[in-house]
Amino acid sequence: MTNTNQQIIESFYTAFGKRDFSTMQSLYHDEAEFSDPVFQNLNSSQVKAMWQMLLTSAKDINVVFSEVKSTDRAGSCRWDAYYTFTQTGRMVHNIIHAQFTFKDGKILTHHDHFNFWRWTRLALGFKGLLLGWTPLVQNKVRATAQGRLKKFMSGAQ
């Protein structure tokens, strides 16, 4: 039997696969928080803008989700993202494990976990292979992503 929180997770990733950022945004609580190895400590408006930015700028993206589990307070799943990293034109297959908490029938916290070094090897190629594990490269990726989000949110795309 599917519970409400499992339905929220399934609705979120189904919308993701359809590039329906409006539905994804509607599933977050007004007090939502998001974090992953690249986009850290985002508030509700930032995470909603992040998904819109990523989906509207993506050339291609395929999302497959599985292993959905939930209770009345928390949930988790695995999701795989296949896409072209626009800055380098390289194909990426990112394997992500998501953890959620819920409040008032919406996502309150959403934490995605993935191997950052593996991602840099795929997205950045040789530079990622050699230096993707270093704080220097990882912090540069984070700063670039945060800068893109800030520019997107200011309307200066």
CATH class of the domain at 4-116? alpha beta
Residue 157 has pLDDT above 70, yes or no: no
Copy the structure tokens of residue 101: 């908490």
Task: Note the pLDDT tens digit of each residue in 101-134.
Answer: 999 999 999 999 999 999 999 999 888 888 878 8
How far from chain centre, in Å, is Cα 12? 11
The Cα 80–Cα 64 span in angstroms is 5
pLDDT at 59: 85
pLDDT of residue 2: 56
Asked if pLDDT for residue 1 goes beyond 70, the answer is: no
| Average predicted confidence (pLDDT) for the chain | 93
- The two tokens of residue 22 are 């409006």
pLDDT at 156 over 60: no
Please give the Cα distance from 119 to 13 (Å, whole number).
Answer: 20
Total-model pTM: 0.91
pLDDT at 51: 97
How large is the average pLDDT for residues 28-43? Answer: 97
| pLDDT at residue 45 greater than cutoff 70 | yes
Closest to 47 measured CA to CA, from 124, 38, 143:
38
Counts for the chain of helices (H) and strands (E), in that order: 6, 6
- Tell me the per-residue pLDDT of 55-84, one tens digit each, with 9 for 90 and over: 998 889 999 999 999 999 999 999 999 999
| Helix, strand or coil, per DSSP, at residue 66 | strand
| DSSP state letters, the chain | ---HHHHHHHHHHHHHHTT-HHHHHHTEEEEEEEE-SSS-SEEHHHHHHHHHHHHHH-S-EEEEEEEEEE-SSEEEEEEEEEEEETTTTEEEEEEEEEEEEEETTEEEEEEEE--HHHHHHHHHTHHHHHHTTSHHHHHHHHHHHHHHHHHHHTT--
